[in-house]
């Protein structure tokens, strides 16, 4: 069962529908649930403001639930803002994140041509991670964001995208993963990535 964390994120239902179409069972998680529930993987979707999102996660107990599940070995995939929340801190609202990956989330600065970074852009797989299985090198995915992930450890950078400079557009390891783009809006390769994660 794929547990999708529901904290009011705008793209939650599009992620849910994409996973359902792939044939996986899903459950929306709005509050901590008993360990007896057969949640095998988590997805943390997201659009919006990092501080507002973390306030909801903290006040609902979901941040503790997520950390507890990850500590017990449950994989998690963060999407867009959900990816940024996996890191330690964000400049958006100067908030602490979940701290599942060491690093920060700075804002795109004035020397970038246009903020937010919006539209299709290439992602380069730099570690041959399983998320990219059956996805051609330098495939395009759909982005909408004004902040970006900056992991402390190079080993946590799984994919990079150029937008004035190379930034980490896919981060993580074998258990905790995040993608800056919206796979559910990225055509067949985005759906393939979701399938790779759920499998």
8 A C-beta contact, residue 184 and residue 84: no
CA-to-CA distance for 56 and 54, rounded, in angstroms?
Answer: 5
The catalytic residues are: 80, 182, 184
Which H or E element spans position 70? Answer: helix 62-71
Q: Which residues pair with 141 in a beta bridge?
A: 121
- H or E element at residue 84: helix 81-84
Closest by CA to 98, choosing from 82, 112, 110, is 82
161 near 123, Cβ under 8 Å?
A: yes
CB proximity list for 123: less than 8 A, separation 6 or greater: 138, 139, 140, 141, 159, 160, 161, 169, 170, 181
Rounded CA separation 48/53 (Å): 7
């Amino acid at each position: 069962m794929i547990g999708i964390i529901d904290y009011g994120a705008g793209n939650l239902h599009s992620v849910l529908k994409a996973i359902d179409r792939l044939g996986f069972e899903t459950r929306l998680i709005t509050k901590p649930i008993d360990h007896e529930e057969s949640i095998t993987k988590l997805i943390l979707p997201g659009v919006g403001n990092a501080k507002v999102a973390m306030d909801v996660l903290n006040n609902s107990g979901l941040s503790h639930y997520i950390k507890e599940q990850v500590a017990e070995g449950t994989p998690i995939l963060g999407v867009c803002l959900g990816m940024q929340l996996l890191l330690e801190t964000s400049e958006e609202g100067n908030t602490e994140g979940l701290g599942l990956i060491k690093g920060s989330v700075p804002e795109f600065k004035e020397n970038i041509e246009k903020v937010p970074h919006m539209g299709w852009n290439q992602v380069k797989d730099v570690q041959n991670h399983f998320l990219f299985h059956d996805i051609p090198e330098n495939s395009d995915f759909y982005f909408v964001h004004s902040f970006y992930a900056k992991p402390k450890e190079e080993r946590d950078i799984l994919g990079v995208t150029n937008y004035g400079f190379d930034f980490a557009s896919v981060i993580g390891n074998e258990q905790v993963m995040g993608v800056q783009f919206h796979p559910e809006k990225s055509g067949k390769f985005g759906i393939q990535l979701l399938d790779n994660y759920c499998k």
